[in-house]
Structure 1
Amino acid sequence: MTDERRGGGDAGPGVSYQQTHGVMNDLLDKLKLLDYERHFSEPNNIAPFTRHHFSLPTNASEQFYHFSSLLAWLLGLVGRRFEAPQEFDDPNASVAQIVAELKAIGFDVDALPRHRLKQGYGEHVLYVLDSMTDKALLARKFAWKKPVIVEESDDDHADAIDDDRAELTASRLDDDDAGVAIATNEDDDDEVATGFIDLDAGVGIRTGQPDDVLVSTRDAVEWRLEVERVLPLLKVRVRGGALEDKDWRSRVERMGVHRADIERAMSETRGQLDRLHAEITRALDKIASREKYINQQLERQIEEYRVAQDKLADAQQRYKGSSGSVTELSKILSDVTEELEMVKAKMDERGTSMTDSGPLVRIKQSLQRLKAENVQMDLRMGVLEHGLNAAKMRSRDEMQRDMNAPVGGGSGRGRYATFDF
C-alpha cells in the first residue's frame, strides 16, 4: 500500500474521508459494474452493501464475514481457488489464510496489519477490496467507454427557458401580498372570515381579445354541478395571516368560533378524562398494594442480596490488593525465567563443547608431531655428538703426535717445537 493511499498522521479530515468513504463509494460502483447483487448477494443471502458498510464500524463479526466472503468471490473472479471462511470460523485462522492468498497474488502483506483486517472495516480492508475489484475488472476485460456528449438543440433550449419563466412567474405570484390577492372580494365576509379566496369570480376572464363571439355548447345545469364539485379544490389559503392582521372583526369572529369549539370538546372529553383519572387512581392503588406485598415477601431475599453485595465488595477489594502482588511476582518470575534461559544456554554451550571430540583429535595430532620432532632432534643430536667426539679424538691424536716428535729434527724450526692446540 502506498503512502499516499494510507495517509499520514498529519493528514486532514478531507484526506481521511477520501481514504474511507470515498474509497467505499468507488468500491461500491465497481461492484455494481461486476453485478455483485445478482452473482454474490443473492446466492449468499447477503443484503446489498450501503455506502458506509466497510468504512464505519457496525458489527465486527458480520463485517468480517462479509469482507472474507466478498474477497473469496473476487479471488474466484481472477482465477484463484479460495474457499470462503464460514461465519463462525476462527478469525485469526481466516486472516492467516487471507494474508497467504494475498501474498501469493503479489500483495505487500507487510503493509497489511492482521488485526486491522480482522476488524472487517477500515482503510486496509477497503484497500484490499478495491485492489481486488480492479483485478476482477481487468480479468473481465472491462474498459471504460468514452463519454457521449449530447448536443442540445435550439428547441430544447427554448423549452427550458419557457419552463424557467413559468416557475419564476409562479414564485412571484406566491410571494405577492395576500391582501392584494383578495382586494376584489372585500365585500364577501364569509371568505374573509375563513381566509379562503373564491376563484369562481375569475372564471371567464381572458387576457387577450377574442377573434369572435364564444358560444357555449354545454348545459347550464351540468356546468353548475361541475362548478360546485370542483369549487372546494379551487380555493387557496392565504399565507402569512394577512387577513387576521388587517380585519379585527374576523379575529373576533374566529375567537368566538374557537371558544365554542373548545367548550364543545371540553364537554365531550370531561367525562372521558374523569373515567381515565379513576382508572389511573385504581391502577396506582393496586400497584402500591402489590409493591408492598412484594417487598414483604422478598424482604429476606433483599437482605441476602445486600449481604452478597457486601461480600462482593470485600472480594473486589481483596482482588485489587492482590493484583499488585501478582504483578510484582509476575515481574520476578519473568526475571527468573530470563536467568534460567541464560543458564540453559550456557549449559548447552558447555555440553556441546564437552561432547565435541575435535579438540581431542587436534591434541593427539599435535602429540604425534611432537614425537616425530623429538626423534628428529635426537638423531641430529647423535650426529652432532659423534662429530664432536671424532673431532676430539683427532685433536688428541695430533697433540700426542706433536708431543712425541723429536726436538730439533729436520723440521728446521729451531731448538724447541711448537704445539697447536
Structure 2
Amino acid sequence: MRKEDSSSGDGLIAAEVEGSPGLAYSIFSSNEELMDKLKILNFETEFIRDLKMKSPSRHYFAVQTNPGEQFFLFTSLAAWLVRKTGDSFEQPQEFDDPNSTIAGLLDSVRKTGTALNFPPSKLKQGCGEHAVSVLNCLADAALKATHFVWQKPEPPPDLAQDEDDAADDEAELILEKVEEEMAAEFSEEEEEVLLRVEDLGHFGSQDAEGRKPDDVLVSTTDGEEWRLELERVLPQLKVTVTAGARDWRARLEQMQQHRASIEDSLAATQGQLDRLHADITHTLDKVGSREKYLNSRLETQLAQYRTLQDELARLTEQYRDVSGGVTERSRTLAQVSEELEAVKRDMEERGSSMNDRTPLVNIKKAVSGIRLEITSMNVHVGVLEHSLLQSKLRDKSLLQQDLNTSMPA
C-alpha cells in the first residue's frame, strides 16, 4: 500500500508560503492525495451512489470550472466526511445559506485541532487551495475515526518476471556471464598449474614416465550422438552483446551501415534524379519558348490593352471627379429643397389664416355683446337719474312745506 503524507492538508491551512514557482502546482498533488483518501473511505459507494452525484476527477477541486456545482459538491462531500468522523451534520441543499453552511464546516474542522487563518469567503467558490485543505483535514480525521493505519509499501514477489529471467538465462548467454565463466576457468587452470612451495621437495622424486598414461587415449563417443547433442544445444549457445547507448563503436558501425545504405540508394536514385532534372529543364525551355512566341504574336493586342487600360483609368478618375461635384450639388439641392418646403409651409399657414373668417365672426359677436351691455348700462343710468330726480323733488316739496309752516300768518 502506498504511503502518503497525511499532513499536507494541515500545512496548507496553517499558512500560505511563498517559494519556487512549482508551489503553484502543489494544489494538484494535494487534490490527488485527497482522491486517494476518499477511495480508501469508499466514497464511490457510500457517497456517489447514495447521493446520486457525478464522480469528480482527480483535479476537480484544484481548478474553477462551475462555481455553483463545485460549491454544492464541496459542501456535500465535507458534510459526509464530518459524518464519517462521528459528528452529526445535515446534508446541505442547493438553496441553503452558504455562510451558515461554511460556518458549520469550519466549526467541524476546528474540532479536529486544525488552526484556520483564512476568511470563510475563500470557500464560497468550492475550489482552490483552501477548499482542498479543508477536505484533506476532514479526510484525515475520518481515516483516524475508522482506525486506518498507513503501512510501508510491500511490493509483491514478481514470480513471472523471475521465470522469464530464468528462461532468458537458459536460452541466451550474456557476454558478461561468458567473460566471468572464462575468467573462473582460467583462474582454476592457473591454480592447478601453479607449484606450491610444499610440492617443490617432491618434484624431483616424481618419475616423468610415471605421469604418462599406460594406454593411448581413444574416444568412445559416437559421432552421430555428438552431432545430435550439438544441434540440440546450439540455440542455447547464442551470445547476445548488449551495446550501450554511448558506445562509440556501435555508433561508428551504425554510421557505416547508414552510409552504405545511402550509397546504395543513391546509386539507384541518381539516374532517376538526372532524368527528372533533364525533363524539368526541357519543359522549362519549352514553356519559355512558347511564352516568347505568344508575346511576339500578341504584342499588338497587349499594346492596345495597355492603351485601353490607361484610358479606363483616366475615365475612372474623371468620373470620380464629376461624381464628387454631383454629390456636392445634390447636397446643395437637398438643402434648398428643405428651405423651399419650409417657406411653402409658412405661406400656407398664413393663407389659411387670412381666408379663415372665424376671427371676424368672433369680433362681431363680441361687439354685439358689448352693445347689449351698453344698452343695459344706459337703462340703469336712466333709472338712477329718475330715482335721483324724484328724491330731489321730494326733498324740495318737503322743504317748501317746512317754510310755509314756519312763516306767520
TM-score (structure 1 length as normaliser): 0.37
Q: Which has the larger radius of gyration?
A: 2
Higher relative contact order (CA closer than 8 Å, sequence separation 6+) = 2
